[in-house]
Chain A
Amino acid sequence: MRNTKNKPRGVDRDRVGIVAGFVVIALVLATLVLYATSMGGINLMESLGILIIIVLVVSAAWVLVDRMRNARAGLPAKDEMTVKLSHKAGYYAYLASIYIALAFMWYSNSLEESGGVGLDGGQTGGGIILLSAIVFMGSYFYLSHKGAAE
């Protein structure tokens, strides 16, 4: 049994991870602001991309605040349950990314067939990454409320 008077193992590493997470969030937000201000006007697809990034940033901030609360109470920020939940959510995001890629290919082809311009590599890649990240965060939140008893 661990001595409760001492900090649990990995607490300092957890704190470094939390601070690093907040730094990354700040950098993403700064990049987003720079991008939005440098563009003259933002079209619908770009606004959707920005909205997805904001949702991801808010979700990541929520996870970090939750970890910070645990670290402050002298508890580990992550444990075997959160690791298991992350792995499960990652598996769902991986499966989703395959179907999202197929959907993007189908959408791009249908755009070209109707005489329009198909999606380029950057749009397809960015869309797959952002939507997979949304599936990951959604799965993580769902599983962390439902539990991971399988």
Chain B
Amino acid sequence: MKTRIKEFRAKYDMTQEQLAQKVGVRRETIVFLEAGRYNPSLKLAYDVAKVLKTRIEELFIFEG
């Protein structure tokens, strides 16, 4: 799975730690999410999308 979290984070000039605080997860979770090495729950995906003012399908790109 690819994500555009980094791109959206840069758009809002937000650090990984700030995003982690807003979503209520550890910074490592954001690192893994950005690297596509962790599949989030629907709730976490929704929370991240909400903080980054976008939709889940724009943030997470599922590949086959």
Chain A residues in contact with chain B, CB under 8 A? 1-2, 4, 8-9, 70, 73-82, 144, 146-150
User: Does B32 lie within 8 Å of A75, measured CB to CB?
Assistant: no
| A75 to B24 CA separation, bound complex (whole angstroms) | 7
User: Does B21 lie within 8 Å of A149, measured CB to CB?
Assistant: no
User: Does A81 lie within 8 Å of B50, measured CB to CB?
Assistant: no
| A116 to B24 CA separation, bound complex (whole angstroms) | 58
Q: How far is the CB of A117 from chain B (nearest CB, A)?
A: 48
Produce 1/0 per residue, B16-36, CB < 8 A to A. Answer: 011011111111110010011
Residue of A2, A75, A150 touching B26 (CB-CB under 8 A): A75
User: Does B41 lie within 8 Å of A80, measured CB to CB?
Assistant: yes
Q: List A contacts of B18 (CB < 8 A).
A: 4
Q: List B contacts of A81 (CB < 8 A).
A: 25-26, 28-29, 32, 38
User: Does A80 lie within 8 Å of B21, measured CB to CB?
Assistant: no
Known: A74-B21, A75-B20. A149 touches B38 (CB 8 A): yes
Known: A1-B50, A75-B17. A149 touches B36 (CB 8 A): yes
User: Does B22 lie within 8 Å of A1, measured CB to CB?
Assistant: yes
Q: List A contacts of B37 (CB < 8 A).
A: 146-149
Known: A1-B47, A80-B40, A80-B41. A149 touches B26 (CB 8 A): no
Interface residue? B44 (CB, 8 A): yes
Q: 3 smallest A-B Cβ distances: which pairs?
A: A147-B37, A79-B25, A81-B29
| A76 to B32 CA separation, bound complex (whole angstroms) | 16
Interface residue? B51 (CB, 8 A): yes
Q: How far is the CB of B62 from chain A (nearest CB, A)?
A: 12
By beta carbon, the residue of chain B nearest A73 is B17
| A59 to B15 CA separation, bound complex (whole angstroms) | 29
8 A-B Cβ contacts within 8 A? A4-B22, A8-B21, A80-B40, A80-B41, A81-B25, A82-B26, A147-B32, A149-B36
